[in-house]
């Protein structure tokens, strides 16, 4: 499991250590780790050209001391000083090792650029000349290494206002910062390497599950399992207008390991569901006629009219866990009472749907996804899976989980319906809303990546667009990659 911390917690832990250790110890450890990564990336340090972008704070100090270490190993190190002041000790050390101060023209000659403009002390959009330097790093042929966080990325939220460095590698100190795991920050960070500087940290604020964590969560049928024990999921999705949502959500549930899928909907989607998924048991329109289920999925393609509201309200009254998606979320944004349930509830909005639920503009949610996922969980009293370039799972008093799998090709119609069915199957299988959402997002992302790259058959040689059906088709492989 990868863990990440809010900036305040990192600062607190740093203060504790700084009080214990001789001055400069933490910065020394940080610079040593940074220099070691840079040396590895350079391959041959002697004779290489390294450019340091140095801001006025300690982030610049780290860059200068790392530059000193590289200069002592024979690198030609030039520092571009961007701030109104510069870390004095660091600059003196660099000079003593043979490094020199230069201007931005040095960037064109560099093999490696170290971005030490701002770290966790950065506030708001980068000002000049920092912004201009960050922009120039986009055009260099050199490898770009960010110190602690890419400058211009908010270390706590992942937000980027204005210009920001796009790093190939980010060397972060003490702990991953939450903004490194959440887009757009995550996309700017490249490969993130953690340097242990000996901080003592409490519970993380954000975590990213890895293969083994998800494998541990997945329910596996025991020899004595039958279809009821494995979990029956009810799916209320699709309408005369949106028949596809029904087929895709049922497909996600069937391939997601449900013991049985009960589908509730109008005649037309029922015909299609039966044709594609004969294993599903179908009921026309009347919620009272559906047999017992262990979890409900309510909403994909359901419609938002009165009849849809009546069905959603009847189903959500039940005392089993429920996943509410798509039209179900639109209905709930008009009638919040739908969310006041006795059993656990998971909602799976994208930013637009969450915008309707919270009454916050969509762009604000996109820019501060972490904050709004948390806020929704708190205000609505439900588990929230916020879809998007990084999918987040938030629940009160738990660290936010960031889904590390997926591909931009997933942004296509119908994939959300598959995710709902899949998460519903896991809910019915006994997972909590938090775990079902996390495992479903993970598997869904793995399946999509496999569909887009053609892996693992043969060597990866590119990517292609995918359909929601492709994601369903690759779910068995995604499971097998976790449960060998
Ligand atoms: N603490 C520790 O134990 C350890 C900390 N370590 C390192 O220290 C880093 C934190 O250092 P920090 O606190 O000095 O802040 P930092 O990130 O350098 O930036 C602050 C400066 O940036 C400026 N600035 C801000 N926003 C700006 C903007 N938008 N546009 C332009 N400028 C802007 C602002 O300038 P001012 O507004 O004051 O003019 C201020 O001077 C941390 O990330 C890690 O690398 C490691 O050595 C390990 C031990
Ligand atoms: K930086």
Tens-place pLDDT, residues 357-398: 999 999 999 989 999 999 999 999 999 999 998 999 999 999
Binding site residue list for K(+): 59, 115, 151
- pLDDT for res 229: 85
Question: At residue 330, does pLDDT exceed 90?
Answer: yes
Find the residues whose C-beta lies inside 6 A of ligand 1: 14, 18, 26-27, 30, 55-60, 62, 84, 118-127, 130, 147-148, 173, 197
Give the model's confidence band at 224: pLDDT under 50 very low, under 70 low, under 90 confident, else very high. confident
Q: What ligand 1 atom has the least distance to the C-alpha of 55?
A: 22
Question: At residue 458, does pLDDT exceed 60?
Answer: no
What distances in angstroms separate CA 475 from CA 443, 444, 468, 479, one per listed residue? 7, 7, 11, 6
List the residue whose alpha carbon is closest to atom 1 of ligand 1: 14
Distance 88 CA to ligand 2 centre (A): 18
Is residue 218 within 8 A of residue 16, CB to CB? The reply is no
Tens-place pLDDT, residues 437-447: 999 999 999 99
What distances in angstroms separate CA 48 from CA 38, 104, 112, 244, 450, one per listed residue? 11, 17, 8, 57, 39
Q: What ligand 1 atom has the least distance to the C-alpha of 61?
A: 47
For the complex shown, is ipTM > 0.90?
Answer: yes
Average pLDDT of the chain is: 96
All domains of the chain in start order, with CATH? 2-206 (3.40.50.10260), 211-482 (3.40.1190.20)
The residue that leads in pLDDT, 453 or 415, is 415
- pLDDT for res 228: 84
């Amino acid at each position: 499991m990868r863990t990440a911390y809010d900036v305040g917690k990192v600062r607190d832990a740093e203060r504790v250590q700084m009080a214990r250790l001789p001055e400069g110890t933490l910065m020394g450890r940080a610079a040593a780790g940074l220099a070691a990564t840079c040396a590895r990336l350079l391959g041959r340090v002697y004779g290489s050209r390294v450019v340091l972008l140095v801001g006025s704070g300690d982030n610049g100090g780290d860059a200068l001391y790392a530059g000193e270490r590289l200069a002592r190993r024979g690198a030609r190190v030039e520092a571009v000083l961007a701030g109104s002041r510069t870390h004095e000790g660091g600059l003196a050390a660099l000079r003593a090792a043979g490094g020199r101060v230069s201007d931005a023209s040095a960037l064109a000659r560099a093999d490696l650029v170290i971005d030490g403009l701002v770290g966790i002390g950065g506030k708001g959009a980068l000002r000049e000349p920092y912004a201009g330097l960050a922009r120039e790093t986009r055009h260099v042929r050199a490898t770009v290494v960010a110190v602690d966080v890419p400058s211009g990325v908010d270390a706590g939220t992942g937000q980027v206002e204005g210009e920001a460095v796009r790093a190939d590698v980010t060397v972060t100190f003490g702990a991953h910062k939450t903004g490194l795991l959440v887009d757009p920050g995550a996309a700017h960070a490249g490969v993130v390497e953690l340097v242990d500087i000996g901080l003592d940290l409490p519970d993380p604020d954000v975590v990213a599950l890895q293969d083994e964590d998800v494998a541990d969560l997945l329910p596996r049928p025991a020899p004595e399992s039958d279809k009821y024990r494995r979990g029956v999921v009810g799916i209320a999705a699709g309408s005369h207008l949106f028949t596809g949502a029904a087929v895709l959500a049922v497909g996600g549930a069937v391939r997601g390991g449900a013991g049985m899928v009960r589908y509730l909907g109008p005649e037309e989607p029922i015909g299609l569901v039966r044709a594609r998924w004969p294993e599903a048991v179908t009921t026309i329109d009347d919620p009272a006629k559906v047999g017992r289920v262990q979890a409900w999925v309510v909403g994909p393609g359901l419609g938002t009219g009165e009849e849809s509201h009546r069905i959603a309200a009847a189903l959500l009254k039940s005392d089993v866990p429920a996943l509410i998606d798509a039209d179900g979320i639109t209905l709930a944004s008009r009638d919040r009472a739908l969310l006041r349930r006795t059993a656990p509830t998971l909602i799976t909005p994208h930013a637009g749907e969450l915008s309707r639920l919270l009454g916050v503009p969509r762009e604000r949610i996109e820019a501060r996804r972490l904050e709004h996922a948390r806020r929704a969980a708190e205000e609505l009293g439900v588990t929230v899976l916020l879809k998007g370039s990084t999918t987040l799972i938030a629940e009160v008093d738990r660290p936010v989980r960031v889904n590390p799998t997926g591909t931009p090709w997933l942004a296509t119609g119908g994939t959300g319906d598959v995710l709902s069915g899949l998460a519903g199957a896991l809910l019915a299988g006994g997972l909590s809303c938090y775990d079902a959402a996390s495992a479903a997002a993970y598997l869904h992302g793995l399946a999509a990546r496999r569909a887009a790259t053609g892996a693992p058959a043969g060597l990866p040689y590119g990517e292609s667009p995918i359909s929601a059906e492709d994601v369903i088709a690759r779910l068995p492989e995604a499971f097998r990659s976790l449960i060998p």
